[in-house]
Amino acid sequence: MKAAVLYGKEELNIVTDFENPIMNESDVLIQSKYTGLCSTDRTLYRGYVPFKPPLIIGHEIAGVIKELGKSASGLEVGDHVIIPPVYPGCQNENCLACREGLTNRCKNSVFIGHGVNGGNAELISVPSRYTFKINDKVPLDEACIIPDAISTPFHALKSRSVPLHIIQNSSNSNKLFDYKSHWLNGKNVVVFGVGGVGGPTVNLAAKYFKAKNVVAVDVLDNKLKFAKDLGATYTVNSNTYFEENNIPIKEISGRDKAKAISGLARHISSNLAEDKFQVDCVLDCSGVPDTFPVAIETVSKNRVVIQVGWPPKPVREFLNQKIMDKYLTINGTWACPMNEMAENVKAVEDGIIDLDLLVTNKDYTLDRLENAIFDLEAGKILGRATINIK
């Protein structure tokens, strides 16, 4: 089969005779039609994270079922499907994490396109129980971003945003996580970084979880305009703030930097003056180390900060007393558990999520995957790009 294979750092080859995947009895064989381009693909390509070559990259996959294993159930040949990038690898979901409902954190997690071969190939074989059917009215060149770009912030907003004391003091805590009565409904959300994950975060917070206000923060005006299109109520360019206030943020440190960060946080929350500057949830989708201290300063007392974007470097010059003083909940998040994937799919099928806006680049083919990675690095891709597997 034809596949994009990574043989080493920056050694990405398009081969036409790669061995077809082996099917187990409970698997389905999927003809991969489109994949979404994620920053993780870029980090693998650049050798920033270890992997065992040869590796077919690509973990955001939409395709059509071509063949069913003997014991595969619930699906039919010809069904349009998506595949979670991370699914359980333990037997019968019996590890501690799976038993606790965190199938996205399974002890033996399978990470498509990293630990095992991914979707930038004509065929891929996966367990039928972790294959999700989607209405064929949803274009596959948009559906392919659901598995990660949509489901990751979906899980963060749905399950990681509610402060523990709110849950403990609720007479019906389940209602706090339901779509129609979710805790974020009517609350104020701030999103740092409007990229391939930050864009969907803005869209989901505004359209699905019905936050009262969504403030998007970035350093690029075109990203902030994009955020407005996706439902952001307000936008803030952090670089512009520092420039207009003559603050050389990259040259200062210590108390001066702390004061500058506090000023930016106050500027961000000033958009919510009508609610006494109340910020209920902050999501860092940038992964940039300098963002975390601003997120801590921006969020209100007794509320939540969620780390969504992968941070490659540690945070420096940060006083973590703020976490104690503000009584904060700091949550990490990782992929999406299996029991939330169906709700993701339904949200898309119901037209609540604006996939047509989130997918901004559809003109890449498998042969041009490397060009797509370069364009992602150069900032030429506004939202999410998809790869046509021809």
pLDDT, one tens digit per residue, over 161-216 is 999 999 999 999 999 999 999 999 999 999 999 999 999 999 999 999 999 999 99
Does the pLDDT of residue 390 top 90, yes or no? no
pLDDT of residue 16: 97
pLDDT of residue 263: 98
pLDDT of residue 123: 98
Domain 3-149+337-388 superfamily per CATH: Medium-chain alcohol dehydrogenases, catalytic domain (3.90.180.10)
Does the pLDDT of residue 10 top 80, yes or no? yes
Q: Which residues contact 386 (CB under 8 A, 6 or more apart)?
A: 34, 35, 36, 37, 141, 142, 144, 145, 359, 361, 362, 364
pLDDT of residue 293: 94
337-345 average pLDDT score:
96
Does the pLDDT of residue 6 top 80, yes or no? yes
pLDDT of residue 314: 84
pLDDT bin (cut points 50, 70, 90) of residue 311 is confident
> CB-based burial of residue 361 (10 Å sphere; 0-12 exposed, 13-18 middle, 19+ buried)?
middle
pTM: 0.96
Contact 268, 236 (CB under 8 A): yes
**CA 171 to centroid of chain Cα atoms:** 31
213-232 average pLDDT score:
98
Question: Could you give the CA distance from residue 120 to residue 113 in angstroms, rounded to a whole number?
Answer: 8
Does the pLDDT of residue 318 top 80, yes or no? no
Q: Which residues contact 307 (CB under 8 A, 6 or more apart)?
A: 284, 292, 330, 331, 332, 333
Do 3-149+337-388 and 161-332 have matching folds?
no
Residues 249-290: pLDDT tens digits? 999 999 999 999 999 999 999 999 999 999 999 999 998 999
Residues 59-107: pLDDT tens digits? 999 999 999 999 999 999 999 999 999 999 998 999 999 999 999 999 9
Does the pLDDT of residue 315 top 90, yes or no? no
pLDDT of residue 115: 94
Does the pLDDT of residue 136 top 80, yes or no? yes
Q: For 161-332, give the CATH class.
A: alpha beta
Q: Of the given ranges (213-227, 278-292, 308-322), which has the lowest mean pLDDT?
A: 308-322
Domain limits of the chain? 3-149+337-388, 161-332
